[in-house]
């Protein structure tokens, strides 16, 4: 049952880069690293996911450590709309054994200062 | 371009009543997941369904909770004889295929309050 640990909260200024860390030391070789975020009173929203290589999309970048025991979500220029709780989760690529769904811890509450 | 829809958005029940939560997945998605979020907590997986089949219910309480995803119509999460501890936000998500590599699209949630 792979788990993740994240800081409870982080604060950043608007238009500055933000690096959100996640530790997942018990990750297995078939686990994908997923990031979601949740704005107040809304459902979670997909941000990015990856397996081994760093990933980029229009929302963010995902930097994955070489040993895969940690990853960092990078928001290149934070805006006020990026203020949310960010969740890191592991999801096996194959079915069979263990829960099929995402499991989020308490996540990181990102505060953006104008 | 409708996303995942859930209704009702807010539901109030008295202890002992039944709660029925509905989820319509993204059109074309045949995989549905239900999650529960207690106040100030993260999401916890409850159950994973494909059309007419429960694939994984390892996160669902053994008693009083049931889920279905019929061939026609929305997925239903049913909670019988609700208790105060069932008060939470219940989120449904759908995906086009199974797990791992696929994005899950979440609905806005149903906030259940048990009096």
Task: Tell me what the mean pLDDT of segment B24-35 comes to.
Answer: 92
Q: How far apart are CA B113 and CA B41, in angstroms?
A: 16
Is residue A69 predicted with pLDDT exceeding 90?
Answer: yes
Is residue B113 predicted with pLDDT exceeding 90?
Answer: yes
A-chain CB neighbours of B46 within 8 Å are: 101
A3 touches chain B (CB under 8 A): no
Give the nearest chain B residue to A42 (CA atoms): B108
CB contact (8 A) between residue A106 and residue B105:
no
- Provide the pLDDT for residue A94: 64
Place B1 in a pLDDT band, splitting at 50, 70 and 90: low
**Which tens digit of pLDDT belongs to each residue from B50-98?**
888 998 898 999 999 999 999 889 999 999 999 999 999 999 999 887 6
Distinct helix (H) and strand (E) counts, chain A: 0, 9
Q: How far apart are CA B103 and CA B84, in angstroms?
A: 32
Q: Which of A51-55, A65-69, A84-88, B95-99 is least confident?
A: B95-99
Task: Tell me what the mean pLDDT of segment B15-38 comes to.
Answer: 94
A-chain CB neighbours of B100 within 8 Å are: 30, 32, 91-94
Q: How far apart are CA B35 and CA B92, in angstroms?
A: 6
Output the average pLDDT for chain A.
89
Q: Cα–chain-centroid distance for residue B38?
A: 14
Residues in chain B: 115
Closest CB to A46 among B43, B101, B103: B103
B-chain CB neighbours of A87 within 8 Å are: 42-43
């Amino acid at each position: 049952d792979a788990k993740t640990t994240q800081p409870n909260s982080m604060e950043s200024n608007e238009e500055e880069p933000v690096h959100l860390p996640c530790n997942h030391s018990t990750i297995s070789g078939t686990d994908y690293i997923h990031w979601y975020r949740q704005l107040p009173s809304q459902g979670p929203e997909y941000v990015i996911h990856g397996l081994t290589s760093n990933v980029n999309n229009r929302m963010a970048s995902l930097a994955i450590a070489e040993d895969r025991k940690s990853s960092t979500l990078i928001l290149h220029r934070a805006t006020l709309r990026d203020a949310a709780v960010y969740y890191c989760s592991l999801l096996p690529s194959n079915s069979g054994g263990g829960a099929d769904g995402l499991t989020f811890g308490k996540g990181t509450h990102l505060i953006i200062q104008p | 371009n409708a996303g995942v829809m859930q209704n009702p958005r807010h539901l109030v029940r008295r202890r002992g009543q039944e709660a029925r939560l509905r989820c319509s997945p993204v059109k074309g998605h045949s995989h549905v997941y239900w999650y529960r979020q207690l106040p100030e907590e993260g999401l916890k997986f409850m159950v994973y369904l494909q059309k007419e089949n429960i694939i994984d219910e390892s996160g669902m309480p053994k008693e009083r909770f049931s889920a279905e995803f019929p061939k026609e119509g929305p997925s239903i999460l049913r909670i019988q004889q609700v208790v105060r501890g069932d008060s939470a936000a219940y989120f449904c998500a759908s995906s086009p295929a199974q797990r791992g590599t696929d994005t899950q699209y979440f609905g806005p949630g149903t906030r259940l309050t048990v009096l």
